[in-house]
Structure 1
Amino acid sequence: MVSNREPYLHERVAEGVKVIRPASGMASALSPIVRAVGGTWIAHGAGSADRLVVDEKGRVALPAEDPKFVLRRVWLTRKEEQGYYHGMSNTALWPLCHTVYKRPFFSRSDWETYRSVNRKFADVVLEEAGSDPAIVFVQDYHLALLPRYVKTGRPDIKVIHFWHIPWPNPESFRIFPWGEELLDGLLGNDLLGFHIQYHCNNFLETVERSIEAMVDHESFRIFRGGRPTYVRPFPISVNYEQIGRDVLSPTVEKRTDGFMKELGDIDGVFLFVGADRIDYTKGILERLRAFDLMLQRHPDLCGKVALVQLAAPSRTHVEAYRKLNDAMDDLVDEINWRHQTEEWSPIRFLRAHHDYYAVLSAYRMAHVVLVTSLHDGMNLVAKEFISARIDGDGILVLSQYTGAARELGEATLLVNPYDLDSMADAMVRAFRMPEEERRLRMERMRAQVEKSNVYDWGGKVFEELERILLMKASQ
């Protein structure tokens, strides 16, 4: 497994070194699979105490209490992290791939750093693989060039890549200055996965219009340099059963007690909950405005409802994210000033890095969870919330521009996050929904997530690779 983000960080605290599970949908989804199969996970070592717990090669066995896999950390300089992660990955590729009308910023220096960091990761992959047969499972847009570098070093290694964010249409992609090199990197894969078929279609059309390659639309494969890359949809999911167990843990109870103290008297208050990284793609500003609109149109709801927003600071080195933080603060202040009373505030904005158990606690407390992304590959908050609701109750307001909407559909309250009026209407409908309807909808959603859990996703990915290898062997 190869990813930018690591599944565990080691951080310095007053008591010594603390192990932290980052609140990352990608890491949460992939950890159960790596635990099940073992092997090595290669990732950027970003924790303040990460170097203190590894051997001379940067390896550490995890989890510490019952090791199931080895984490091999890759060390990046501050300049590398700035150019590769904050620069090319998050000011160029991220806005390029998300249709939220945010202009990407392209820098040759960032691209050169992105390229060199991808080579560094590839060198570590080849070192870990040695001369043994290996399958390399690459994650996301940070490592688009790595598959070609690995294949150049070891053509026999089988490489799978899962792209966790949307893939843009060809017209959007063609402004990317280094498009041919990036596409060539991805075509080093044996198997390339996206969340939904629409993104697969976009990728095939992009390749067809951009570089010299043979695109086979019937078999969804692309030949570049005489070898094929197969392109397939694999909607990612979560560890349904584990989340259901964890939500009953004493740690979640402790986090719930903490929230109750922080939020004050919320007995009898109908809670709308959001749990997101602070990111312009997540539709948090739109969510806040729709909630404000609901209160303006239905003043009788004042004092009866509240919006609790868990907001994890993210990419604060990037100017657009700093401006977004300021805009959120101003909007929350404005809405609270307009509606609050001495006893009640409509919005509680909890900016912090809430851990996995705190997020589960918030899901359990929620009457409604709001997922209002302007564009999202999948969005695992939706599936985590459903998995956590072992009581069979709760409502999901879900953006139609998420991959999750393709699977959960009519059991949710689907919204267009650009349409504040309809979002406000959906919030009112959620508040007034009868218990029988709530439970029927949740039953349908839970059945879907239970059936299509993360093990099902992983199984389909590797079954498809096996099918492809058998097909190649028979030709």
Structure 2
Amino acid sequence: MNGDNSFVVVANRLPVDLQTTPEGTRTWQPSPGGLVAALSPVLEQHQGCWVGWPGISDEAPEPFRTDDGVLLHPVRLTAADFESFYEGFSNATLWPLYHDLIVPPAYQRQWWSAYRDVNLRFATEVATVAAEGATVWVQDYQLQLLPGILRQLRPDLRIGFFLHIPFPGADLFRQLPWREEIIRGLLGADLIGFHLESGAVNFLELARQTEGLEVTGTPTVRSVNAQVHTHDGRSVGVGAFPISIDPVSLGTSAPGGVDKLRSRLGEPTTVILGVDRLDYTKGILQRLLAFEELLESAALDPAEVVLLQVATPSRERIEQYRQARSQVEEAVGRINGRFGRMGQPVVHYLHQSLPKDQLRTYYEAADVMLVTPFKDGMNLVAKEYVACHEDGSGALVLSEFAGAAVELEQANLCNPFDIESIKRAIATAVHGLANSPETMSERMLMMHHQVSTHDVNLWADSFLESLAETQS
């Protein structure tokens, strides 16, 4: 028997976290993260159903509704599932492979088996909650087999898939021992979306090379001109749909919050900010090394500038993440030992998540924002910072390998693998604010216009409209 939900989002995680009070009362609170911020407004609009793991092992509550009326349908995962499906195949195999082998991927057959089994479990749950002819929007790399499985279980459904991380070139992807299964899983969708045209091109080339499939058209932004023609006679649309943010969801900072923060930082002339998950792809260590060398050469004065780095905890049971944290924290200590003064560190480091209103204050207080990943599908932090500077203040230092660099052309772009390039971009931003404020303001205002007019609603609407136009 089918469910009664005409619009279903399915993602690895539900958009809530379980909070337990000292008295033992358990409540569900909205969770942070770019995917949640992007999809929540869409689901509220459609009053849809979100299928995902609740974030706790070996149990799943009964389906429940959020305050906004969204139905949450939990999927139960065991501790073993989490270890092999999520930490293993998703984040020790696919994540490094899709980020151009920044660390070597591990290919373990038991991880693959768990990935396949969990995708089947998710697909089974979706099949039970989706109404006849419903639209199902599958999210991200953890669930790449789901469209193909769901196509077999429920051929009546219209299925979209969106990848939130980069998609590698065909030569890299072909390393994966289970490449054919992943490709066939994705091709169960009616529409496959990527952030950038380059990701769509990589997938089309892969489908042509590995599966011998006919490909027609070329990928375009926010529309579908490219298609893969499958062996069973279906046509699957492929396009680029750059994700963005909901500027309204950033809220407002507390009155006087910016002045209080800068006072706590020692009233510096320049506040430089980094906000990232503590992930080895984010280039946090390299930006710290660049900052250290700028201080060492006196290009920046430690009496006038501070770096505030927020590093949100992430996947800390995985060895490469533990190493990344150790290296970052060692660098923070060394830089403060060399250039800080009693009660006045030159690097302020927070290894914690921040609430939205506090993060908004940090964005507004920052003169320069550092977003320097080695590789990123989009990077919404860059767009959040720009959205908070509608007055034209501030400067953005942005990796040329972040998807956001395609849209935010007026940023100070850098090569995150090149310490000298990062140093030049930081120095240019800092000195540009001091010496060419009108030019810097003009650049920020252009970026702000881009983010404001290309928001999360445009991303979702363009994808869903394109999905509605596809023919199964």
> Could you say whether these structures have the same fold, taking a TM-score greater than 0.5 normalized by the shorter chain as the test?
yes
Aligned-residue sequence identity (percent) comes to 35
- Aligned-partner residue type, residue 264 of structure 1: R
**1:177–1:389 Cα change, 3 Å:** same
Shift of 1:98: 0.4
Contact 1:170/1:206 (<8 A) preserved: yes
- Aligned-partner residue type, residue 191 of structure 2: L
- Aligned-partner residue type, residue 147 of structure 1: P
Note the alpha carbon deviations across 1:399-449, whole angstroms, 9 max, x for none.
10011100111x211111111112112212221223322321111011101
Shift of 1:101: 2.8
What does residue 227 of structure 2 align with?
A: 221
Instruction: Report the TM-score when normalising by structure 2.
Output: 0.91
Contact 1:11/1:47 (<8 A) preserved: no
What does residue 201 of structure 1 align with?
A: 201
Note the alpha carbon deviations across 1:124-147, whole angstroms, 9 max, x for none.
1001015x2200000000000000
Q: Is 1:247 the equivalent of 2:247?
A: no
Shift of 1:47: 5.1
**1:367–1:169 Cα change, 3 Å:** same
**1:78–1:231 Cα change, 3 Å:** same
What does residue 356 of structure 2 align with?
A: 356
What does residue 160 of structure 2 align with?
A: 160
What does residue 103 of structure 1 align with?
A: 104
What does residue 86 of structure 1 align with?
A: 87
Structure 1 distance, partners of 2:308, 2:151, is 47
Contact 1:100/1:374 (<8 A) preserved: no
**1:363–1:18 Cα change, 3 Å:** farther
Note the alpha carbon deviations across 1:6-58, whole angstroms, 9 max, x for none.
2121211326335433331111111111111111011111159995xx4xxx2
**1:266–1:21 Cα change, 3 Å:** farther
What does residue 5 of structure 2 align with?
A: none
Structure 2 distance, partners of 1:120, 1:386, is 40
Q: Is 1:34 the equivalent of 2:40?
A: no
Instruction: Report the TM-score when normalising by structure 1.
Output: 0.91
Structure 2 distance, partners of 1:382, 1:205, is 30
**1:100–1:399 Cα change, 3 Å:** farther
**450-459 or 295-304, larger mean C-alpha shift:** 295-304
Shift of 1:255: 7.6
**1:209–1:258 Cα change, 3 Å:** farther
What does residue 457 of structure 2 align with?
A: 455
Structure 2 distance, partners of 1:50, 1:350, is 32
Q: How does 1:165-204 map to 2 (within 5 A)?
A: 165-204=165-204
Structure 2 distance, partners of 1:96, 1:240, is 32
Structure 2 distance, partners of 1:431, 1:144, is 43
What does residue 25 of structure 1 align with?
A: 34
What does residue 59 of structure 1 align with?
A: 63
- Aligned-partner residue type, residue 466 of structure 2: E
Higher-helix-fraction structure: 1
Structure 1 distance, partners of 2:323, 2:256, is 34
Structure 2 distance, partners of 1:164, 1:459, is 16
**264-273 or 88-97, larger mean C-alpha shift:** 264-273
Contact 2:20/2:26 (<8 A) preserved: yes
**1:44–1:255 Cα change, 3 Å:** farther
Note the alpha carbon deviations across 1:213-233, whole angstroms, 9 max, x for none.
222245421122221111100
Q: Is 1:446 the equivalent of 2:445?
A: no
What does residue 52 of structure 2 align with?
A: 43
SS in 2 for 1:281: coil
What does residue 381 of structure 1 align with?
A: 381
Aligned residues between the structures: 453
What does residue 424 of structure 1 align with?
A: 423
Structure 1 distance, partners of 2:101, 2:342, is 38
SS in 2 for 1:308: strand
Contact 1:294/1:425 (<8 A) preserved: no
What does residue 270 of structure 2 align with?
A: 270
Shift of 1:269: 3.7
Shift of 1:336: 1.6
What does residue 233 of structure 1 align with?
A: 240
Ranges of 4+ aligned residues in structure 1 off by more than 6 Å = 254-258
Structure 1 distance, partners of 2:26, 2:259, is 25
What does residue 393 of structure 2 align with?
A: 393
What does residue 222 of structure 2 align with?
A: none
Note the alpha carbon deviations across 1:341-380, whole angstroms, 9 max, x for none.
2242221110012233332221111111110010011000
Contact 1:9/1:50 (<8 A) preserved: no
- 1:10 is matched with which residue: 18, 23, 37? 18
Q: Which runs of 5+ in 2 are unaligned?
A: 1-8, 219-224
Q: Which runs of 5+ in 1 are unaligned?
A: none
Shift of 1:154: 0.9
